[in-house]
Amino acid sequence: MQKLLTLLQVNDSMFPIGSFTHSYGLESYVDARIVNDNSSAAEYARTMLEHSIYYNDAAFLYKTLCLPAGKKGWDQLTELDTLVTAIKASYEIRDASKKLAIRFLKLTMELKPYPACKKYAEAIRQSALHGHYAIAFGLYVKAAGIATEDALSAFYYNTLNGIITNCAKAVPISQTAGQKILFNLQPVIARLVKKQKDMDEQQLGLCCIGQEIKCMQHEKLRTRIYIS
């Protein structure tokens, strides 16, 4: 029960790390009128799960959960952090990942300061590593003994919940429409979680080019309500 409650707490959309300030390119899609109603919001959410999150942050989380213990694990984490930094081409997305990681680690260390999380936070502080949220989240839930499938499921769900929340504010769509999208995409999350371990290593960080462009365009939008 305690593991479940821990997962629910640190993965809650209200966990105060600032994730609600980021749209990850959605605001640019809305500005271009590409995402403009319930149907396009649902398609955007599904596409993000299947063609962006699966190959990127969920994959980075999975690799973190699979890290071995000791120096070998730390060396692999260092390589992963460097790789993720290179993969996140858009400055806003790269910076968002770091900010969320720092805030997540700072807050969770007040709850239970696991050594691996403390070491990662210190490496970020010293600029030895860049810092990424998926890695920080993975380190914490792994140390807390959360099962891999549960951690991935929660991560996918909270990511989707963030997308829908942003759609409700920016498109806008109704809360009811948003809940329908969340419910209807549950099978997609289950499928992605099930096949995450089988993802081709060569596909790690596969670029969702539309999102990349929209994230870069977001930096120059005339008006913005999101940081990214």
pLDDT on residue 162: 93
- Per residue in 9-67, pLDDT (tens digit) is 999 888 999 887 888 889 889 888 999 999 999 999 999 999 999 999 999 999 999 99
Residue at 117 is within a domain: yes
pLDDT on residue 72: 97
Residue at 43 is within a domain: yes
Residue at 226 is within a domain: no
Q: How confident is the prediction for the chain on average, in pLDDT?
A: 93
pLDDT on residue 125: 97
pLDDT on residue 48: 94
pLDDT on residue 28: 87
State how many domains the chain has: 1
Kindly report whether the global pTM for this prediction surpasses the value 0.75: yes
- Per residue in 95-109, pLDDT (tens digit) is 999 999 999 999 999
pLDDT on residue 220: 78
* CATH number of the domain encompassing residue 181: 1.10.4190.10
Q: Where are the alpha helices (DSSP H) in 11-49?
A: 26-31, 38-48
Domain limits for position 195 = 2-218
Residue 68's Cβ-count burial label (10 Å; 0-12, 13-18, 19+) is exposed
Residue at 223 is within a domain: no
Rg of the chain (C-alpha set): 17
Q: What is the mean pLDDT of residues 166-195?
A: 96
The CB density around residue 162, as the number of other CB atoms within 10 Å, is 17
Residue at 83 is within a domain: yes
- Cα separation, 80 vs 178, whole angstroms: 34
Residue at 225 is within a domain: no
